[in-house]
Copies of this chain bind each other. A is one copy, B any other.
Amino acid sequence: MTSYLPPLRDMWFVLDSVLQLPRAWAQMPHFADLDADTARQVLEEAGRFTRDILAPTNAPGDLEGCRYHDGKVSTPAGYREAWRAYVESGWPALACDPEVGGQGLPNSLNATLLEMTAAANHAWSMYAGLLHGAYACLHAYGSEELKARYLPQLVSGEWASTMCLTEPQAGSDLGLMRTRAEPLEDGSYAITGNKIFISGGEQDLTDNIVHLVLARLPDAPAGTRGISLFLVPKILPEDLGGQANTLYCDGIEHKMGIKGSATCSMRFEAAKGWIVGEPHRGLQAMFVMMNSARLQVGLQGLGHAGASYERALRYAAERVQSRAPVRAQPEQAADPILAHPAVRRSLLNQRCVVEGGRVLAYWTAHLIDQAEQHPDDASRSQAEGLLALLTPIVKSYLTEAGFQLSSDALQIFGGYGYIHEYAVEQTLRDSRIALIYEGTNEIQAIDLLVRKVVGDGGQRLQSLLQIMRDDCSAPGVNPRFAEALRQQIDNLHQITTHILERAASDAEYPYRVADDYLRLVAVVLIAHAWLRTDRVAAAGEGEAGDFLAAKRSAAEHCFRYLLPECSLYHARIRAAEEPLAEIPVDL
């Protein structure tokens, strides 16, 4: 029961039939060499790696956890071997620039790898997952010397990396950060300060760890405009002596989940580092990785949701308990619990969220490719606008789905769900962190509504709504779905206009409604994903008849049960016109 079966069939259906990505890749010179067969082989191979090599380390790694002793961290048994296999197959380099050793494949394909590694072993994937962010930062802002020294080893996975942001008093608010950077005569800096919650701050998978550290220069202004970014290696380069830098891991956290991921307290004592990008513009250098990092966390949520759903579905088909109101096995004393309406409805709901969410997430990944590689300026810029809008939604909605669906799946297992053996309780625990890190979901909601929607007067949102409206008019769509979705698009347009108007006189209003607004847009997007899926299924494209028929009934379920959530979010957004009550702390 602890195994992970990657949903390769659905993944390929989404990439190839729903999103028609091979056709889109052909239009971008960067991906022109990639044909559908190659892409599919990469997908299958990633499936084998996650299923056969990575997934078996998940449950034991959770029980064993990381161990800390005297500044050193040991990862659980099997982690090193999985890391070696990962590096040897070239997975870290999948979507990296070929000029520094990458394979230059699309982010949409990399998204399937990220979904599967998180689903197979979220804790382990934390060591791998930070590579891409560090790569992107350095690639965009590093000096030529730093790039030459560090990029090849990061792209190959020979060395790993961290992002050192959080301090005890500075979590969501990086402006409160205190770590200092003193310039040295040789052009490097001495970094001093304490960082907490550093994933992979110390580990035994790689010989060197490249820390990207946010710190303040002596002349830095207060707040977020006085933060610079530094590269601080665990081991100094050979030509500088090759000795250990003066940075230390003081301990690891005892966490609810991802226990195989070492969450470290790091102490920098005049550790030697080099600046990345301009002084005081460290946050800007980090923003370059923000979209892909947030998408990655959303894909973790999708991975949790998908793995839990698949386990619960298999279990529900096998577990026989009580008679269903409409009997599935009239000759037996009891029916599979899949025949019980409460179980079936829960699984149908899970399916709608997982498979609709997959369309949304892979589409978002594809927008990164379009924004970076599309030959046409207008297309790149439109993709960038949509990406800015969809990224916080994918991060929040899919991480909430990962947690909620793991809980729903656990419920289907009953008492067995609560014990470690059946894997789903671990997924529930692991999934919970994704609602917090890489910007809490509340911060994502503010990013969406305040920065992205109110920020540009609703322009980007209008172009998203137009895309959805166009899809409602595409030949072959289910007219009932199109009508229902059009109605919700109109409602969304209206409530957005209302928020924009009201924000002018009540600046707090968007902050009060941001969470509901994000969920509202997310549900409309999920319905849009199912409208597209249903259209492809109705046309008989890409898959067997029973597969497509089941897609069509799932689309029905989505429009019947999920879409009504919109009215709740509208009601709450209207309710929030009044200011919030005070809440006394003295109980």
Contact = CB atoms under 8 A, between A and B. Distances in A.
Interface of A: 5, 7, 9-10, 63, 166, 169-173, 175-176, 196-197, 222-223, 253-257, 263, 310, 313-314, 317, 320-322, 325-326, 333-334, 338, 340-345, 347-348, 351, 403, 407, 410-411, 414-415, 417-421, 425, 428-429, 432-433, 435-437, 440-442, 445-446, 507-508, 511-512, 514-515, 546-547, 550, 553-554, 556-557, 560-561, 564-565, 567-568, 571-572, 575-576, 578, 580-585, 587
Contacts of A441: 411
Contact of A512 (B345, B445, B514): B345
Contact of A418 (B256, B345, B546, B547): B256
B341 A419 contact: no
Contacts of A419: 253-256, 263
B554 A564 contact: no
Contact of A343 (B420, B442, B557): B442
Given A440-B414, A580-B345, A585 B313 contact: yes
Given A419-B254, A571-B567, A508 B428 contact: no
A508 B325 contact: yes
Contacts of A257: 418
A349 to B, nearest CB: 10
A199 to B, nearest CB: 11
B342 A514 contact: yes
Given A10-B587, A546-B584, 7 more contacts: A176-B333, A255-B419, A345-B512, A348-B581, A411-B440, A550-B582, A561-B572
Contact of A411 (B321, B351, B442): B442
A556 to B, nearest CB: 6
Nearest to A336: B585
Q: Which 10 A-B pairs have the closest CB atoms?
A: A553-B581, A564-B571, A256-B425, A342-B442, A173-B322, A560-B575, A325-B508, A341-B511, A317-B585, A254-B420
Nearest to A568: B568
A450 to B, nearest CB: 9
B428 A415 contact: no
Nearest to A565: B568
B436 A342 contact: no
Contact of A553 (B5, B169, B582): B582
A436 B568 CA distance: 27
A313 B173 CA distance: 19
B568 A581 contact: no
A454 to B, nearest CB: 12
A583 B334 contact: no
A571 B562 CA distance: 10
Contacts of A344: 580, 583
A138 to B, nearest CB: 25
Nearest to A513: B341
Contact of A583 (B348, B433, B514): B348
